[in-house]
Amino acid sequence: MSYNKIIIIGDAGRGKTTLAAKLSKKLGISYYSTDDFYYEIKYTKSRNREEALNNIKKVFDSEKWIVEGTTQWLLEDGLKSSDIIIYLKYNNIFSQWVTLFKRHFERKDKSFRHTLYLMRHVFYKRYGFSYKKGKPTHMEIISPYLNKVLILDSFKKINNFVNNE
């Protein structure tokens, strides 16, 4: 089966950007991160919401695209028009924390404090605590589109998907 409009969502550290890059190369389709639409200056200054929505809408109006990220309000139109939604998830938080911890030392692009903040953030998100209380989970966000959702919960399954696509 061929996909022209692909959404990749999932847990932090699961490989959304890596998968988007691999699929982009293999399928010859440009990929985009919701971070590039959300931030004017990455992780520092947010873009105006209307401007971000207008910019990503141009992508979703095109014939072929891969968009990865987790910003729900930026993904809504893409979820509706996508051919497939790939949900990359961890089965448990400890595996996710280990990956985030390893990534910190491999990339060296973020402070250790930022890594600890991210680990706390994913805990809040997964279990609905603090500022994430009452926010929809990934499954709740994609539940209206389950007929086109593919859940990949291991790096082996992710690699198999890329190799067989």
Is the model more confident about 135 or about 62? Answer: 62
The structure's pTM equals: 0.86
Q: What is the mean pLDDT of the segment spanning 137-158?
A: 92
| Per-residue confidence band for 70, with pLDDT thresholds at 50, 70 and 90 | confident
| Per-residue confidence band for 17, with pLDDT thresholds at 50, 70 and 90 | very high
Cα–Cα distance between 159 and 165 in angstroms, integer? 10
pLDDT for residue 158 = 93
Domain boundaries in the chain?
5-91+137-164
| pLDDT of 131 over the 70 cut | no
Separation in Å, CA 37 to CA 23, 84, 124: 20, 21, 24
Q: What is the mean pLDDT of the segment spanning 43-47?
A: 78
| pLDDT of 118 over the 70 cut | yes
| pLDDT of 43 over the 80 cut | no
| Per-residue confidence band for 38, with pLDDT thresholds at 50, 70 and 90 | confident
Q: Give the SS3 label for residue 161.
A: helix
Decide if 14 contacts 89 (C-beta within 8 A): yes
Architecture category of domain 5-91+137-164 in CATH:
3-Layer(aba) Sandwich (3.40)
Decide if 88 contacts 14 (C-beta within 8 A): yes
| Tokens (6 digits) for 31 | 């990929």
pLDDT for residue 128 = 80
